[in-house]
Amino acid sequence: MTIEIKNLTGEVILTLAGEGLAGRDLSGADLRGADLRGADLSGAGLRGADLRGADLRGADLRGAGLYNADLRGANLRGANLRGASHRWADLRGADLNGANLSGANLTKAAGADMTNADNS
């Protein structure tokens, strides 16, 4: 199985062979504009990752480590962020409509608009 992560122009920016993304260490990865709709990123290490403008609609980010990650303008509609750590993450302009943020750590996170997020 090969997984290709593409940016907004369709260019392949990361190819993973034989494995999924769950539990992977993607710390510091440049995933700007990546199409990660519905991806299983549960438990993934995304410390300091650049996810600006990434499409993470419906993605499973349960328990993911997003410490100091740049999520400006990312689409997180309906994503499962239960128990994820967003300490120091930049969420300015991120779409969190319907995202599950229960138990998520948002300490010092910038710009998190949780008006329509599910925090139950």
Q: Please report, for the domain that includes residue 91, its CATH number.
A: 2.160.20.80
Domain that holds residue 113: 21-120
* Assigned domain for 12 exists: no
For CA atoms 28, 3, 118, 91, give the dihedral sign: positive
Mean pLDDT of 5-29: 77
* Assigned domain for 6 exists: no
* Assigned domain for 77 exists: yes
CA-CA distance, 66 to 41, in Å (whole number)?
11
* Assigned domain for 1 exists: no
Mean pLDDT of 43-64: 95
Query: What's the number of domains the chain is made of?
Result: 1
The pLDDT assigned to 29 comes to 87
The pLDDT assigned to 2 comes to 61
Which of 15-19, 20-24, 26-30, 74-78 is modeled with the greatest confidence? Answer: 74-78
The pLDDT assigned to 10 comes to 77
pTM for the model stands at 0.83
Percent of the chain with pLDDT over 90: 56
* Assigned domain for 91 exists: yes
- Closest CA relative to residue 28, chosen from 57, 70, 64: 70
- Res 18 pLDDT > 60: no
* Assigned domain for 30 exists: yes
